[in-house]
Structures are given as structure tokens and as C-alpha cells.
């Protein structure tokens, strides 16, 4: 089954082929990623067929690849196909193909669209590799590559200021979590000496301390990627990118990768201290509530959807906190379809009305029936209305919380029900604002190539909920059809939300403007998103910038200043020694020089310049040497005699003087 490698490889190759092309050629082959994704889709179905219907946790296929050896021990990465992977593959490729098809229509006027398709393809490759990864290292690597693609796509229209800033914000915020992820991986390696799922999750006996550390690290990464409080701030801004990219990356797949990671690593979370899972649930609860609250007050349709995504991801984290891997993954799956559907619909609406503000829209149901219909499917699913998919997956989560029956799970349950009502409320609000009422613009229905993907997603959204028991069984869990009681409670929550929304917005039961004026403080808090952005900007970003400037000044004045001070001190010392040198040392040298010069003046007279003078000297010297040669045998005696003679004279002189 080595062909499974092709699933991520095809889109990757499409990117590799397109990256070096010129803008024009890239645009010409913009269909290439779609072709690659279609191939991946077919193979994903084939892969699913291999796993079905057995399912379970055991992989049906594994492949390892030695990345390097460390001290002779291999550091391997690997791929694995099991039930979870098979489902994720299908989710990613189906949504991916829909988004690709839709994008061909959506982006066809943009002159840099080739680059958009290339990056989308790289993203798909990374996401597919992530779900195929059989170990945490490969997962982390594809995780980061997805982050890069998200960055590139959010900042796609980088000539404008907002997308640029949103892109860097997204990358850095998720990287804050990734620092934790990296530390978690380091700790994992130090403890288990492996990244392999099979080894780490099954064969390793974790100590509580080690498991706590590792799980918190992984959780940090997941919280960044899946936009959990307090790292959620990047997701609402991510709407600055092209809408179909948001549909794929920031609604369906990448943001769900955090949920996938925690779901995979759940055995470590179970081995960790009990408060870790409670913490996960707490994070999820807070995120779900915060997202839903903020989604209710937004006017930008994409921002509503973004906060809604945050809220739904919180829902999934609640499920993870309850240890319900299956429920979380099921909600992930349904959410991927209906939320990408909603984003695609929003893209069409924005294209048609040339605005993102829901106050400036209205009456689209008449001119855009297809868009209206599909969008409503998505909205109903998100609101949790039977029989749409959201109902089933939400019910799963609620039921899990109920069965767990601890004080924290019951708290989370009540918040989750509240959030369900709020979700239904804000979706009703959007739908009424956009589709009902008088037509505000000359919006036209979009082309077939964009309707078809939406219709496909809408169809899936309508029916996929019924797979709930099969889905659980496939993952190796035992679960029947939903409990009637919980289904009723969930439906009541949804109906309440919808009813409230209809009463307020369709029948103008409450003047929302008046509410805003009457509670200015609440309005301010909500409009500023609970001041997260402001706090981060003031507290972290600006402090950091100030600190870096301070450190840079410190570097030039203190650290480098010390170096320069040493140099200056040295040069001062050298001036002193130069003076010493000039007078004393060089004086001595000059004295010797003068001495030699004076001696030279004496001796130079020998150099008469006359040939015969030299000749004479030469012959005299010759004679002297001859004489010396003859006297050699007696030279010692002669020398002694001469010395004695000189000594005698000296002594004589001393004696005479002394006397």
C-alpha cells in the first residue's frame, strides 16, 4: 500500500511544479492542484475502503523512514493508516476538492491566482501528511508547514495593510503555542526516546510528571492552532485572506488539527495528572462561550463565522476534556463540512454584494436561491437542528458530558447548552439580515462552478449525521443512536435560540441599537473582544518592541561601549608609551646611532677613492697576512709576550702614578 504516500505527495508535487513558474504560466496551470487533489481524493476513498469496516485503533498499514541516526539509533518518521486517518483523509480531500473547484471561479480575476492555487496545494499536502503521520515529529513538521501556508494565504493581498498584519499575527500567535509543542516533543524524546504513536501512546509507561509535562506541551500547540482562549486572537483577523482559503484552512482543516493532535495524544493526557483533562475542558468551555458571545455582536459576516469557528473548536475541546475522542472527531468532521459550506456561501454573498457588513445586505433569497438554500443548510447544521449533521455531533458531546457526571462536566454541559442556544441565535440573526427583508443590492446568483461545490457540501451536511453510530463503531467505540432525552434538551436549546433570533430580528422585538446605547460598557467590552487584542498589543507587543529597542541601545552603548572603552584606554596607554618611547627608548637608539656615525666619520678617510691607495692597503694586508702565516707556530708565545709586555707597562704606569 505504498501508494498511500501519493496522497500527500500529489499536491506537494503540484506545488513544487508551480512554485518556480512565472506568474503567467502559473495562472495557466491553475487547475493543476485540483487535478492533484482529485487524485488524492480517489486514493483517500481507496484507503478508506481498506480500513472499512474493521476500523479500530490498530493501523492497517505503516511505513517508517529513517530521517537520521542519533548516536547510531534511528530517528524515524512514519506514516500510518488507521480509522482516524481514513476519516480525516476523506474530510480533508472532500473539502479540499470542493474549495479548489470553488476557488477556480472565485479567484479567476486575480492576477496572482496561480500563487494562491500553489499555496493551497501545499497546504493540502501538509494537512494530508499531518493526518497520515504515524509519529509526533512528522505531525509537528507538517503542522508548521500548514502554519506557513496559512500565513501566506492570509497575507495573500499583502499590498494592503490589514492582511499583512493579520498574517504575521496568525503565524506568531500559533507559534507561541508551538514553543510549548516543541518543548513537549523534547520531553517526549527524553522520556520515551521515540516519537512513534505506537511506542509513545501504547508501549511507554508514563510517569505522571512526564506525562503531565508532555501533555501540557502538546496542549499548548493545540491551543495555538485551534484558536483556544487565550491564543484565539489570530483567527478573527485571518478573514483578511481569500474566503475559500478561510473555508479550507480556518474553518475545516487546519484549525481542527489541534483537536486532532489532542485526540491522538489522549493516552498521554490520561496518564497525566487528572487536572490536565479538566483544564482542557475548562479551556474548551471558556473558548466556546467566548466565541459564541462575540459572534452574536459582529456585523462582518466572516467575523461572525470566525468567532463561530472558535466557539465550535471550544466544543471539540470540551469533548476532548471529557476524554471522548470519538465525539470530538465526529464534531470535527461535521463541522468541517458545514463550516466550510458557510464560508463558501459567505464568499459568494460578499462577491455579490461587495460588502462584508450584514447590515448592508438583505433580501438575497430572491435573487440568489441556491446560495440561500445551501447557506441555510449550513446554518441549520451549525445551530444543531435535526436532522442536520451538527445536531448529531453536538448531541454526542452533550451526552458524553452527562454520562461523565462530575461537577466540572456538568458545568461544561450547562455552558455547552447555553452556547448551543447562542449559536442558533447568531446564525438566525445572520440569515435574517442577509436573506430576508428588502433587497439592498442588485446581487446576482453566482455561476454553476461555485454552486456545485456548495451543493455537494450541503448534501453531505444533510446526511452525514446519520452515520453517527457507524462512525463511533469505526473508531472502535460502542455507541447507539442518540438518547432521546438529551436530543430533546439540545433541540430545545436550539429552538430557543432560533426563536429569540426570529423575534428580535424578524419581528423587531427588541431594538438592538437601543441596547447598545443603554449598555455602553457591555457594548465596548464585546466590540473589543474582551480586550484580548488590546491587552496583547499594549502588554506584550509594545513592551516587546520597547524592550528590543532598549536592548539594541544597551548593545551599542554598554556592550560595544565596553569594547570601545578598552580600545580607547589602550590607545591612551599607547600614547603615553609613545612619549616614553620617543624620549627614552628611542633616545638610546639615537645615541647609539650617533656614536656609530662619529666612528664612521673617522674611518671614512680610508676610503680615498684612489685605486692605488687601495692597492697599497691590499698589498700591505697581504704582507701582514704572510708575516702572520710565518709566525703562526709562535703566535701563542708572541701573544703571551705581548700581553705580558702590556701588563707590565700598565702595572708600571699604575705603580708610578700611585707613587
Q: Which residues bind other proteins (CB under 8 A)?
A: 23, 66-73, 75, 140-145, 148, 151, 155, 158-159, 161, 164-165, 167-168, 171-172, 175-176, 178-179, 182-183, 185-187, 189-190, 544-545, 547-549, 551-552, 555, 559-560, 562-563, 567, 604-612, 615-616, 619
Nearest approach in angstroms of CB 113 to other proteins is: 14
Among residues 137 and 416, whose Cβ is nearest to other proteins?
137
B/e letters for 288-303, b = 16+ CB within 10 Å, e = fewer, are: bbbbbbbbbbbebbbb
Contact 424, 497 (CB under 8 A): yes
Nearest approach in angstroms of CB 16 to other proteins is: 10
Q: Is 80 helix (H, G, I), strand (E, B) or coil?
A: strand
Find the Cα–Cα–Cα–Cα dihedral 103, 106, 109, 113, rounded to 10°: -30
- Is the C-alpha dihedral spanning 523, 529, 534, 535 positive or negative? positive
Nearest approach in angstroms of CB 66 to other proteins is: 7
Report how far residue 402's alpha carbon sits from residue 420's, in angstroms, rounded to the nearest whole number. Answer: 15
Among residues 23 and 366, whose Cβ is nearest to other proteins?
23
Among residues 359 and 575, whose Cβ is nearest to other proteins?
575
| DSSP string for residues in 480-511 | -SPPHHHHHHHHHHHHHHHHHHIIIIIS--S-
Nearest approach in angstroms of CB 137 to other proteins is: 8
Nearest approach in angstroms of CB 259 to other proteins is: 21
Among residues 46 and 182, whose Cβ is nearest to other proteins?
182
Nearest approach in angstroms of CB 528 to other proteins is: 24
B/e letters for 118-132, b = 16+ CB within 10 Å, e = fewer, are: bbbbbbbbbbbbbbb
Report the candidate in 292, 310, 149 with the shortest Cα–Cα distance to residue 235: 310
Among residues 521 and 602, whose Cβ is nearest to other proteins?
602
Report how far residue 86's alpha carbon sits from residue 560's, in angstroms, rounded to the nearest whole number. Answer: 58
Among residues 50 and 165, whose Cβ is nearest to other proteins?
165
- How many Cα atoms are found within 13 Å in the side-chain-facing hemisphere of 594? 6
Among residues 73 and 515, whose Cβ is nearest to other proteins?
73
Nearest approach in angstroms of CB 615 to other proteins is: 6
Contact 81, 4 (CB under 8 A): yes
Nearest approach in angstroms of CB 118 to other proteins is: 11
Report how far residue 518's alpha carbon sits from residue 41's, in angstroms, rounded to the nearest whole number. Answer: 53
Contact 338, 388 (CB under 8 A): yes
Among residues 517 and 558, whose Cβ is nearest to other proteins?
558
DSSP code of residue 359: G
Report how far residue 478's alpha carbon sits from residue 481's, in angstroms, rounded to the nearest whole number. Answer: 10
C-alpha cell at 143: 503542522
Among residues 567 and 644, whose Cβ is nearest to other proteins?
567
Report the candidate in 13, 80, 6, 15 with the shortest Cα–Cα distance to residue 43: 6
Nearest approach in angstroms of CB 120 to other proteins is: 17
Please give the span between the terminal C-alpha atoms of the chain, in angstroms, as a whole number: 126
Among residues 70 and 510, whose Cβ is nearest to other proteins?
70
DSSP code of residue 466: G
Nearest approach in angstroms of CB 575 to other proteins is: 17
Amino acid at each position: 500500500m505504498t501508494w498511500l504516500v501519493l496522497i500527500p505527495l500529489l499536491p506537494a508535487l503540484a506545488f513544487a511544479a508551480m512554485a518556480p513558474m512565472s506568474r503567467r504560466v502559473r495562472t495557466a496551470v491553475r487547475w493543476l492542484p485540483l487535478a492533484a487533489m482529485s487524485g488524492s481524493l480517489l486514493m483517500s476513498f481507496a484507503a478508506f475502503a481498506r480500513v472499512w469496516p474493521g476500523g479500530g485503533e490498530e493501523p492497517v498499514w505503516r511505513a517508517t523512514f529513517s530521517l537520521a541516526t542519533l548516536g547510531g539509533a534511528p530517528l524515524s518518521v512514519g506514516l500510518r493508516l488507521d480509522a482516524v486517518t481514513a476519516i480525516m483523509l476523506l474530510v480533508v480531500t472532500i473539502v479540499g476538492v470542493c474549495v479548489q473547484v470553488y476557488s477556480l471561479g472565485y479567484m479567476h480575476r486575480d492576477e496572482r491566482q496561480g500563487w494562491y492555487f500553489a499555496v493551497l496545494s501545499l497546504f493540502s499536502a501538509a494537512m494530508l501528511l499531518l493526518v497520515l503521520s504515524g509519529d509526533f515529529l512528522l505531525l509537528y513538521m507538517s503542522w508548521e508547514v500548514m502554519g506557513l501556508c496559512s500565513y501566506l494565504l492570509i497575507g495573500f493581498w499583502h499590498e494592503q495593510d490589514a492582511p499583512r498584519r493579520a498574517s504575521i499575527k496568525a503565524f506568531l500567535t500559533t507559534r507561541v503555542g508551538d514553543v510549548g509543542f516543541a518543548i513537549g516533543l523534547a520531553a517526549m524524546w527524553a522520556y520515551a526516546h521515540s516519537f512513534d504513536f505506537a511506542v509513545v501512546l501504547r508501549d511507554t509507561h508514563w510517569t505522571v510528571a512526564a506525562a503531565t509535562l508532555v501533555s501540557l506541551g502538546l496542549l499548548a500547540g493545540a491551543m495555538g492552532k485551534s484558536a483556544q482562549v487565550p491564543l484565539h486572537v489570530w483567527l478573527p483577523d485571518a478573514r483578511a485572506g481569500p474566503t475559500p482559503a478561510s473555508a479550507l484552512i480556518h474553518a475545516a482543516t487546519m484549525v481542527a488539527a489541534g483537536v486532532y493532535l489532542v485526540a491522538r495524544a489522549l493516552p498521554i493526557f490520561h496518564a497525566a495528572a487528572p487536572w490536565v483533562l479538566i483544564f482542557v475542558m475548562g479551556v474548551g468551555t471558556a473558548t466556546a462561550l467566548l466565541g459564541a458571545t462575540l459572534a452574536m455582536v459582529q456585523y462582518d459576516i466572516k467575523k461572525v463565522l470566525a468567532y463561530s469557528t472558535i466557539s465550535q473548536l471550544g466544543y471539540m475541546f470540551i469533548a476532548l476534556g471529557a476524554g471522548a475522542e470519538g465525539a470530538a472527531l465526529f464534531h470535527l468532521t461535521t463541522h468541517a463540512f458545514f463550516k466550510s459550506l458557510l464560508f463558501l456561501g459567505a464568499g459568494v454573498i460578499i462577491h455579490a454584494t461587495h460588502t462584508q457588513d450584514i447590515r448592508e445586505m438583505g433580501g438575497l433569497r430572491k435573487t440568489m436561491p441556491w446560495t440561500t438554500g445551501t447557506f441555510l443548510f449550513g446554518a441549520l447544521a451549525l445551530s444543531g437542528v435535526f436532522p442536520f449533521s451538527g445536531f448529531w455531533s453536538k448531541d454526542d458531546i452533550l451526552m458524553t458530558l452527562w454520562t461523565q457526571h462530575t461537577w466540572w462536566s456538568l458545568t461544561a454541559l450547562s455552558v455547552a447548552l447555553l452556547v448551543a442556544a447562542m449559536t442558533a441565535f447568531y446564525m438566525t440573526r445572520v440569515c435574517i439580515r442577509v436573506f430576508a427583508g428588502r433587497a439592498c443590492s442588485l446581487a446576482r446568483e453566482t455561476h454553476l462552478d461555485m454552486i456545485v461545490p456548495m451543493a455537494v457540501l450541503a448534501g453531505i451536511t444533510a446526511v452525514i449525521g446519520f452515520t453517527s453510530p457507524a462512525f463511533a463503531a469505526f473508531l472502535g467505540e460502542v455507541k447507539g443512536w442518540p438518547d432521546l432525552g438529551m436530543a430533546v434538551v439540545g433541540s430545545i436549546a436550539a429552538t430557543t435560540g432560533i426563536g429569540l433570533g426570529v423575534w428580535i430580528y424578524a419581528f423587531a422585538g427588541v431594538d438592538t441599537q437601543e441596547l447598545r446605547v443603554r449598555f455602553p460598557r457591555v457594548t465596548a467590552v464585546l466590540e473589543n473582544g474582551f480586550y484580548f487584542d488590546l491587552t496583547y498589543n499594549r502588554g506584550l507587543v509594545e513592551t516587546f518592541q520597547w524592550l528590543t529597542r532598549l536592548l539594541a541601545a544597551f548593545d551599542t552603548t554598554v556592550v560595544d561601549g565596553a569594547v570601545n572603552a578598552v580600545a580607547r584606554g589602550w590607545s591612551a596607554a599607547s600614547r603615553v608609551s609613545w612619549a616614553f618611547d620617543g624620549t627614552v627608548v628611542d633616545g638610546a637608539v639615537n645615541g647609539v646611532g650617533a656614536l656609530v656615525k662619529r666612528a664612521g666619520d673617522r674611518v671614512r678617510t680610508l676610503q680615498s677613492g684612489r685605486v692605488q691607495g687601495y692597492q697599497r692597503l691590499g698589498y700591505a694586508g697581504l704582507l701582514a697576512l704572510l708575516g702572520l702565516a710565518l709566525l703562526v707556530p709562535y703566535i701563542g708565545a708572541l701573544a703571551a709576550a705581548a700581553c705580558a709586555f702590556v701588563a707590565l707597562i700598565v702595572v708600571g704606569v699604575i705603580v708610578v702614578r700611585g707613587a
